[in-house]
Structure formats: C-alpha cells, structure tokens
Amino acid sequence: MDDSNSKNDSMRAGSRFAGKVAVVTGAAGGFGRAIARRLAEEGAAVALADIDSGKGKRTTAQLAGRGARVLFETVDVSKGEDVRRLMERTCGAFGGIDILVNNAGYCHRARPLWKLAEADYDRVFEVNTKSVYLGVVHGVPRLLERGGGVIVNTASIGALRPRPLITAYNATKGAVITLTRGLATELAPHGIRVNAVNPVAADTDFMKGPSGGRKLDDAGRDVLQKTIPLGRLAEPADVAAAVAYLASDDAAFLTGVCLDVDGGRSIG
C-alpha cells in the first residue's frame, strides 16, 4: 500500500520533532518510507538510507517536493563503512543526529531451515541484526554529541510468534529484541532511550522475499488475516505512528519497550 498522498500534497505543519534530525534505514519503501514521511511531517530533518538507490532517490525527491528537509544516501547496512558515511553525511548536512531508526530488513525465501543456503542465512543476519550493531557503533557517538537521543529498532511479531519456514528471519528479529533491551540498560545513563516495534505482516514489497519475488496474492493475504484478531494486515502508517510515538517526548519514560504493532496476533 502506498502511504503517500498526491504529488501536489504539501507536508502538513508539525512541531513534535521540530529541530530534530532523524536517520531512517530501509527508507526507500514500505515501513521505512512511511516512517521517514511521518517524522518529516512532524518537523524532523530526515536522512533516508537504502540499498536501492533508484527507489530511495525517488522517495526522497517526493518528500522534498512536499517541503521536507531530506537527503538520501545509498547504504548497505551490513557494511560498517557505509553506515559510518551515512552518519557523517547526515551530521554534515543537518548538524547532528537525534533519532536513529534501524529499520532495514531482509527475509530469505520461505523454506525449512535445514534447506536454507548458508549464504542466505548469513545475509539475513547481516541485514537484520549486524545492522543494529553498526547503527549503534556509528550512531551513538553522534547522539551523545547532542546530549542524548532515541533509537528505535524494527523487530517483528515473528520473534514472539514464529511462523514456519522463515525460522532464520524470526531468529534475527528475536536478536533485535534482545539487542534493544540490552542497549536500553547500557545507554539509559547517557540519556539515550532504545525501543523497538514488532510489526505483523504487511502487504509491501518486503513480502516478495519469502515468496521468491511474487507479490502477496488474495489467498495468501486471507491466510495471514485470519491469524490477526483485528482482521487485517499491518499498514505502513500503523508502524510509522508507533515509531513516531516511541521517538517522541510523549514516550520520555519508555525504554526497552518492544511494542507489538500486530492487530492482536501475539495474543490471538
């Protein structure tokens, strides 16, 4: 689902993040695009990062056309030099970093774990888990320069209620939850809050990963929706709203929280 409005739409006035600078990885589409847009709508300057340069630049241009202060950097979040360059360029353009959203993700094709190629196993851990480590290594010093800040990681409800055939993916998101909680205790004395969101499945291009490149069809959508008490898949705007809340002063006393954005799937 496209989270954008018409091309002639302008960014609505917002002040919750006025004067703040955010970095959002995996921002070319899906959850990341919605998160970047939501933060920009509410006043933040936003650095968008993605491995897909074409799509990322188009998304960034769309936001700039609506009046947002944005930049785009092509980044492989599993590469330390790429992440370092992202943080450096963001600080050079906007003066610092206040909010880091480690959102980039990858899912291997659905199959039993014992049939998953070693390269696919390595890649899913690099993109989903190592990326959080690299974001922290290169991002925390920048947050400290501003006297503190917020980190929000994208995990998954699959970490708590795993689906079959994507076991390695689920494991990476379990690691993201553990990283989030551990980092919350490490960074609290430094004025940095660390939280996560646990989304349920959404009808975005991300779903092409487990399906081998195919879009989610009606039958697949129906199967997934039947497991969700509220009766629908997540929308990017749902996740963006949760991230914006956790990144804002409205959540000033929340750290180590892993918020289920799942329509009740974790309890259904």
Query: Quick one: DSSP state of residue 130?
Result: I
Mean pLDDT (whole number) for 121-129: 98
Q: Give the model confidence (pLDDT) of 62-79 as tens digits.
A: 999 999 999 999 999 999
Asked if residues 132 and 102 have their Cβ atoms less than 8 Å apart, the reply is yes
Higher pLDDT, 233 or 212: 233
Q: Is the pLDDT of residue 121 over 90?
A: yes
Q: Higher-confidence residue: 58 or 5? A: 58
**Structure confidence at residue 11 (pLDDT):** 59
Q: What is the pLDDT of residue 77?
A: 98
SS3 category, 48: strand
| pLDDT, the chain, mean | 92
Q: Model confidence over 10-55: pLDDT tens digits?
A: 555 568 999 999 999 999 999 999 999 999 999 999 999 999 999 9
Residue 58, SS3?
A: helix
- pLDDT per residue over 128-147, tens digit each? 999 999 999 999 999 999 99
Residue 4 has pLDDT above 60, yes or no: no
Alpha-carbon separation of residue 60 from 1, 9, 40, 55, 92 (angstroms): 18, 15, 11, 9, 18
Q: Identify the helix (H) or strand (E) that includes residue 92.
A: helix 80-94
Q: Is the pLDDT of residue 213 over 60?
A: no
Nearest to 236 by CA among 261, 267, 215, 208: 261
Q: List, for residues 216-258, the tens digit of each pLDDT value.
A: 677 777 888 888 899 999 999 999 999 999 999 999 999 999 9
* 169 classed as catalytic: yes
Q: Which of 121, 133, 169, 245 is an active site residue?
A: 169
- Residue 214's pLDDT is 64
More confident residue, 5 or 63: 63
| CA 76 vs CA 85, 130, 151, 183, 241: distances in Å | 11, 11, 19, 22, 26
Q: Is 260 helix (H, G, I), strand (E, B) or coil?
A: strand
pLDDT for residue 223: 83
Tell me the average pLDDT across 87-102: 98
Q: Tell me how far CA of residue 218 lies from CA of 45, 77, 187, 215, 236, in angstroms.
A: 38, 32, 44, 10, 19
H helices of 42-79, in order, are 53-65
pLDDT tens track for 170-186: 999 999 999 999 999 99
Q: ∠ CA(85), CA(87), CA(93), 5° rounding?
A: 100
Task: Please give the C-alpha separations between residue 240 and each of 57, 76, 208, in angstroms, as whole numbers.
Answer: 20, 22, 21
Residues ≥6 apart with Cβ < 8 Å to 15: 42, 43
The band of 210, judged by pLDDT with boundaries at 50, 70 and 90, is low
Contact between 121 and 168 under an 8 Å Cβ cutoff? The reply is: yes
